[in-house]
């Protein structure tokens, strides 16, 4: 499944440059929880959105996030998103993709979520989102809430 998502991301990125809407980069952080335990995390993401007409868009994102406790490492993710432009500077979206393992004895996971991005001025934006991680293989699923601040260009 991971190979299919990566192939889809590369195909869209290479075949659609004329439809380009905007590139973005953001710093983000939040809370991740599973089995009653919660922990902070922080990271960065970069993405590119493609216009699908006046009211819709699709996008790709790569990310690196680190859970703020010892014994963890940066988990890298690739995510696709599909959404609606709900105002001049607001975007509502669903997303899904794959995230690598956040620690040596952990498993990578598929993820799915929902979020909202709001532009402030010409290039600045804020984002809030929820994501569920489908881990499997005897490991508990986890959930995360994320806030981010970024720049579009």
Contact 102, 93 (CB under 8 A): no
Phi/psi for 126 (5° steps) reads: -120, 155
Q: 8: left (phi > 0), else alpha (psi -120 to 50), else beta?
A: alpha
End-to-end CA distance of the chain: 31
Distance CA 61, CA 71 (A): 26
What pLDDT score does 139 carry?
81
Contact 60, 95 (CB under 8 A): no
Give 20-74 pLDDT, tens digit per residue.
Answer: 589 999 999 999 999 999 999 999 999 999 999 999 999 999 999 999 999 999 9
Instruction: Tell which residue, 136, 140, 89, has the closest CA to residue 117.
Output: 89
pLDDT tier at 125, thresholds 50, 70, 90: very high
Q: Which burial class, exposed, middle or buried, applies to 21 when counting CB atoms under 10 A from its CB (0-12, 13-18, 19+)?
A: middle
Give 69-124 pLDDT, tens digit per residue.
Answer: 999 999 999 999 999 999 999 999 999 999 999 988 888 999 999 999 999 998 99
Host domain of residue 70: 2-152
Inter-CA distances, 44 with 51, 85, 90, 104, 151, Å = 23, 23, 21, 21, 12
Q: How many domains does the chain fold into?
A: 1
CATH code, domain carrying 116 = 2.40.160.20
Asked if pLDDT for residue 19 goes beyond 60, the answer is no
């Amino acid at each position: 499944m991971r190979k299919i998502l990566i192939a889809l991301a590369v195909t869209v990125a290479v075949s659609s440059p004329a439809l380009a809407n905007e590139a973005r980069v953001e710093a983000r952080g939040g809370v991740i929880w599973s089995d009653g335990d919660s922990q902070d995390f922080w990271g960065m993401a970069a993405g590119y959105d493609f216009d699908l007409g006046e009211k819709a868009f699709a996008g790709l994102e790569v990310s690196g996030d680190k859970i703020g406790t010892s014994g963890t490492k940066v988990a890298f993710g690739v995510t696709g998103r599909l959404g609606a432009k709900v105002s001049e500077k607001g975007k509502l979206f669903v997303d899904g993709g794959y995230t690598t393992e956040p620690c040596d004895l952990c498993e990578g996971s598929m993820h799915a979520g929902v979020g909202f991005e709001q532009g402030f001025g010409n290039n600045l934006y804020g984002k809030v989102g929820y994501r569920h991680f489908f881990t499997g293989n005897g490991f508990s699923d986890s959930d995360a809430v994320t806030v981010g601040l970024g720049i579009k260009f």
